Amino acid sequence: MIIFPDRPILNAITLTITFSGVGIVMMLLAYRLIDAITPASLSKEIVDNKNLAVAVLVGSLILGTSIIIAAALLG
In a domain, 12, yes or no: yes
Q: Report pLDDT for 1.
A: 67
pLDDT digits (tens, 9 = 90+) for 11-60: 888 888 888 888 889 889 988 998 899 898 888 999 999 999 999 988 99
Which residue did the predictor score with more confidence, 1 or 73? Answer: 73
- The number of domains in the chain is 1
Flag whether 2 is in a domain: no
The residue segments making up the domain with residue 47 are 8-74
38 alpha-carbon distance from chain centroid: 18
pTM score: 0.73
pLDDT value for 55: 93
